[in-house]
Amino acid sequence: MRLILVFFAVLIGSQTYANNNFKVKGYDSHVELTWDKDENVDFYRIYAKTGTEERFLFRGETNEDYYLDFVTDLGRNIELSYKLVPVVDDKENKALRPKTTSVHDFTEEELLDMVQQYTFRYFWEFGEPNTGLSHERTHSKQGNIVTIGGSGFGVMTLIVGVERGWISRQQAVDRLLHATDFLQNTDRFHGMWAHWYNAETGTVREFGKMDNGGDIVESAFMMQGLLTAKQYFNEDNKKETQLRDRITKLWHEMDWAWYTNGGNQLIWHWSPNHGFAKNHGIRGYNECLIAYILGVCSPTNPIPEEAYHESWAGWDNPNFANYTEYFGMVLPLGNKRWYGGPLFFAHYSYLGLDPRGLSDKYANYWVQNRRHTLINRAYCIDNPYGYPGYGEDFWGITAGDRVPEGYSAHAPGYIRDQGTITPTAALSSMPYTPDESIKVLKNLYRNYGKELWGPYGFYDGINLSVSDVPEEQVRKTYIGIDQGPIIIMIENYRSGLLWENFMKNQDILSGLNRLGFKRYGKKITPQ
């Protein structure tokens, strides 16, 4: 009788380790396994077999509660069965009944769904709970930091999440009310937020020397997201009305005029300790266009239109006017030496600001962004430094983590091109170059996904020149400002969702009108 009880206890223990929440889901080239982790288990081993095999094969092991198994070594369009085996004290315990799934060649729409939804997890599942905002990055050496610019991108991803059915409208509104509660109560500087905040304390975290106060570019990225949310969450109920009222108040309290320091140019930073001593004036062309647009569009504390024309867009600024031919294409704006600069210049200001048909006396912004992207691609195909992999389906140079370490604003050209391809570059350019960008998506996922694809989608960087070992070629980090544009710009390509909502704002339309912007050659007029 005692032996029977001991056997029964071991059997129950084994079943407890391999719990009933074990799930498997097949995609195009990989299978995702998830389960509830048992604290008594040291790690888990994963075994799989195809429908034509009799024996389960070892696929890997982990001490996490998920595992991504790239299965192209076993074949494509196949059925698979999986066993999850808990390991305790170096002994395998009995697994429960295997789970079955299948993988099949995804259509382009299915691939876009997958990339968007995986990337969305960074902002939803990895969202910072104390503030309702977004983490600066994974594996941060700075501690638990939230970023204002990346959180502004995160606001826009919530809209996509609702529209695509990943979260409910109520869930998104609750998260945004939590976030705006933090935004209205934390330290602001003449209505502007700092670059970073400590998540636990809610206080400013210094970003750099004399940078512990207002950051108008980060604040512009946040407000671009909030103004988009204000238009999208338009239902006549208590919570959405409260959200819209909060956003309006935050928008009206931003003192753009203060950040000219009595001059005719926006100054990037203001510190309560150092004032304007950093003195970083903002001139084009770069990612900061949205700051000047919002500054002119402000209904309460605007900057003069002359600041845009004389400071941002000055023809005497060698980093603004380009009109140089690269690879048979004339690029209107951007640094000449670096082929227009990092590719995020074509993304950050245009997450909400719709470049389709948008022009002023300096450029057509759809032409600008499409050519900037195509030149970046053509440079990688030309590959003057002979980096391995570069080509029609392996391109995209922008700011991001270097491989194997560090961070850099990568760009085409001497010194700035270091062999690192950043997935956000081509993927966030999807509206401008859909055919070319989808080739990169397929190549990175199907041929490099075993190392490059993780729980929040594509990792931040890949560089084939640093090593012949695949796991050493990938920087397995995520950064909020790289993740956000992937979701948002793919959605703008698919539906124009964020563009259409941001461009409904009457303050924005009025300011663009005063600056002389046109849409498809016609004057922009508020409704």
Question: Alpha-carbon distance 358 to 332, whole Å?
Answer: 14
Rg (CA), the chain: 25
Phi and psi torsions of 181, nearest 5°? -60, -45
- HSE toward the beta carbon, residue 454, CA cutoff 13 A: 18
Identify any residues that bridge with 83 across adjacent strands, giving them in sequence order: 47
Identify any residues that bridge with 456 across adjacent strands, giving them in sequence order: none
Question: Alpha-carbon distance 501 to 525, whole Å?
Answer: 16
Query: pLDDT (tens digit, 9 = 90+) per residue, 336-369?
Result: 999 999 999 999 999 999 999 999 999 999 999 9
Q: Is the pLDDT of residue 15 over 90?
A: no
CATH 3.60.110.10 fits domain 21-105? no
For residue 171, CA distances in Å to 158, 159, 168, 174, 239 come to 9, 11, 5, 5, 11
Domain topology for 110-253+263-523: Glycosyltransferase (1.50.10)
Query: What DSSP letter does each residue of 211-280 carry, written as one string?
Result: BSSEEHHHHHHHHHHHHHHHHH---SSHHHHHHHHHHHHHHHT--TGGGGTTSSS-BSEEBTTTBTTT--
- In this structure, the number of other CB atoms found within 10 A of the CB of residue 275 comes to 14
For residue 499, CA distances in Å to 379, 405, 427 come to 29, 35, 17
Identify the CA nearest to 462 among candidates 450, 451, 473.
473
For residue 325, CA distances in Å to 339, 372, 415 come to 9, 11, 21
Identify any residues that bridge with 91 across adjacent strands, giving them in sequence order: 88
Return the domain boundaries, the chain.
21-105, 110-253+263-523
Q: What percent of the chain has pLDDT over 90?
A: 92
pLDDT of residue 17: 61
pLDDT of residue 16: 53
Q: Is the pLDDT of residue 13 over 80?
A: no
Identify the CA nearest to 266 among candidates 304, 321, 317.
304
Query: What DSSP letter does each residue of 301-368 carry, written as one string?
Result: SPPPHHHIIIIIS-TT-TTTEEEEEETTEEEEES-TTTTTS-GGGGTGGGTTS--TTEE-SS-BHHHH
Which residue do the tokens 């005692």 mark?
2
Question: Alpha-carbon distance 389 to 425, whole Å?
Answer: 16
Question: Alpha-carbon distance 418 to 316, whole Å?
Answer: 30
pLDDT band for 10, please (50, 70, 90 cuts): very low
Mean pLDDT of 271-288: 96
For residue 271, CA distances in Å to 192, 204, 220, 298 come to 11, 11, 17, 22
Question: Alpha-carbon distance 302 to 487, whole Å?
Answer: 31
Helix (H) or strand (E) holding 408: strand 407-409
pLDDT band for 7, please (50, 70, 90 cuts): very low
What is the DSSP code (8-state) at residue 197? E
pLDDT band for 141, please (50, 70, 90 cuts): confident
pLDDT of residue 6: 36
Query: pLDDT (tens digit, 9 = 90+) per residue, 284-336?
Result: 999 999 999 999 999 999 999 999 999 999 878 889 999 999 999 999 999 99
Number of separate helices (H) and strands (E) present in the chain: 14, 24
Q: Is the pLDDT of residue 9 over 60?
A: no
Which residue do the tokens 């929440």 mark?
21
Query: What DSSP letter does each residue of 21-86 carry, written as one string?
Result: T-EEEE-SSEEEEE-PPPTT-SEEEEEEEETT-SS-EEEEEESSSEEEEE-TTT-SS-EEEEEEEE
pLDDT of residue 285: 97
Q: Is the pLDDT of residue 5 over 50?
A: no
